[in-house]
Every structure is written in structure tokens, then in C-alpha cells.
Amino acid sequence: MPLPRVLPDKTRFDFMGKRWIGFTVSIILTLVSIALVCTEGLNLGIDFTGGILMEIHTDKPLELARVRDTLSHQGFGEVSLQNLGSERDVLIRLQVSKDEEQAKIVDELKGVLNTQTGQTIDYRKIDYVGPTMGSELVENGILAVISAFSAIMVYLWYRFEWQYGVGAVVSLLHNSIMLFGFFAFTRFEFGATAIAAILTVVGYSVNDTVVIYDRIRENMRRYKKMDVSELLNVSINDTLSRTILTVTTVLLAAMSLAIFGGEVIRGLSCAIVFGVVVGTYSSIYIASPMLIYLHIRPKLETKPIG
């Protein structure tokens, strides 16, 4: 008995005929993302700002709102508390200024917690991040993203032609801006895991784009006189079933982590879910139609569709 197919063998969706809709949506969302980052800013974690990260376990569940108010009134500044899977496991994030001694603050924080909760507290993990290390992480994060973009462009230029490299990088810039807007809108903590999410989405997007680009190159050799827009449509339709199967598999894994992975990795998981959807969309509506305007086949006149 043959296995059921996700899509028919030969689909005929006119993606290039709707490319202006895709461009319009992308421009609007990109501007909204930039506006969110500029006005709301990112919820930078202690990875970038410097501070104290403490994981504790208590005998009884804590009222996080009451503990947060108590610590704030004790002069500890901005304090973040969240449960780690269990109501008795709590993650405490405390931002400190450059002039404060972190070890002294930890001792004071322990004293306040022991007094206010009246419980035996197990301090399972205490991490210190200095402001100097935070600035270094910011620089290294930016360098990692720029290096990834540059390496991808060089690779695609070497494997295909320069038009493909430019098209892929424009698509990746689009995806990265969308992810920054996502973090600004959701207020998920932006730290080292956020950089990991961006690079993960970049890797997935490039993989999806390369598959489509490879089919475009094959079809250019096969259909030497076919209009570029029509050739792009044929190539995207040829790989559409594979694209849907791949994105569905990735989304199932990422959504499982977002739902069951707990608070610590929820921001990372949700960002990957969002990024995979945006990356799949941009491979079709950004990376592919860019080849038309970069004159991938300059000797033939491009005839608009629709």
C-alpha cells in the first residue's frame, strides 16, 4: 500500500505572482521590529549586563510576588524570580552595578531569604557575571552573527554565483531583524541563549534556501529559455513537499521544548518556533524573488506574472 503524500507530485502554486504581497508584509514587519527594538529595547539578561544568578530549593512553595517585593524594599534593585519546573525550585536574577561587591550582596541576599521565608533553603547554584564579561559577551555575540553571515555569503558565492549569496544574506538579515523584534515584543530575556536561537534559525534558513537554490540551478540548465519567474515557481513547487516535511519536523521538536521544557529554555524554544516559520517564509518570498532583481539570467527579459 503506497504511503500518503503531503502534497501532489506536481503542484502549481504561483509564488512569484504574489511576491509583492510577500515584500509588503516583510517590509511592514521589519519596520515594526526595528521600532520595537528602538522604543521598547531588549530585556537584556545578566549575561550581557552583569549580575548574580542564583538557583534555590525550598521545603515549601514560595510566594514569588511577596519575596520579590521584600527584596526590592531591602534595596537589592531589580530582582527577577521564576519557578524552575517545580514551585519549590526558584531562579533568582539580580542585576548589580559596577561598584558593588557581588560576594557581599550574595551574603546579604541569603540572610534576607532565610529570615523572610523561615525555611531551610538549599542554594544549588550561584553564578557571578561581571560587567566586563558582559560587555565581552555582547561583542562576541555580534562577532558570531557577523561571522556566520559572512561565511554563508562566501560559501554560497563559491557554490553558486554571487547573486545567490546576496539573496541569502538579505533573507537572513530579514529573519534576524524579525527575531530581535520578537524578543522586544515578548520581553523574553535576551542573553547568550538568544544568540544561540538566532544562529540556529540562520542555519535552518540557509539549509532551506540552499535546497531551493540548488533546484533553481538545475532547472536553469534544463529549461534554458523559460522565463525566470516561471522557473522560480517550478523550482519552489518541486521542493515544496520537502520544505513542509522539514519545517513540520523542526516545529514539533521546538514546540515540545516550548511547552514542556520549563521557564529556563522557553524563550529559546519559542524564538526557534517563530524563527523557523519566518525562515521558511523568507526562503520562498525573499531569497528566491531576489534573484529576479539581481538578474540571475540577464540575457532574458523577465516577464511579470499576474
- Tell whether the model's pLDDT for residue 11 goes beyond 90: no
Of all residues in the chain, what percent carry a pLDDT higher than 70?
85
What is the three-class DSSP state of 23?
A: helix
Secondary structure of 222-256 in the HEC alphabet?
A: HCCCCCHHHHHHHHHHHCHHHHHHHHHHHHHHHHH
Question: How far apart (Å, rounded) are the C-alpha atoms in residues 251 and 264?
Answer: 19
Nearest-5° Cα angle at 62, 58 to 64: 130
Q: Which of 229, 167, 174 is nearest to 25 (CA)?
A: 174
Confidence of residue 278 (pLDDT cuts 50, 70, 90): very high
In sequence order, what are the beta bridge partners of 86? Answer: 84
Confidence of residue 1 (pLDDT cuts 50, 70, 90): very low
In tens, the pLDDT along 151-191 reads 877 887 777 788 888 888 899 889 999 999 999 998 888 87
- Tell whether the model's pLDDT for residue 4 goes beyond 60: no
Of all residues in the chain, what percent carry a pLDDT higher than 90?
15
Confidence of residue 306 (pLDDT cuts 50, 70, 90): very low
- Mean predicted confidence (pLDDT) in 237-247: 88
Better pLDDT: 216 or 109: 216
Check: pTM over 0.85? Answer yes or no.
Answer: no
Nearest-5° Cα angle at 199, 194 to 205: 125
Report residue 9: phi and psi, to 5°: -60, -40
In tens, the pLDDT along 120-141 reads 788 888 877 665 555 676 677 7
Domains parsed from the chain with CATH numbers: 16-44+133-293 (1.20.1640.10), 51-125 (3.30.70.3400)
Better pLDDT: 9 or 164: 164
- Kindly list the distances between the CA atom of residue 225 and the CA atoms of 83, 168, 197, in Å, as whole numbers in the listed order: 62, 25, 41
- Tell whether the model's pLDDT for residue 30 goes beyond 90: yes
Most confident of 67-76, 147-156, 264-273: 264-273
In tens, the pLDDT along 86-98 reads 778 888 877 765 5
What is the three-class DSSP state of 303?
A: coil
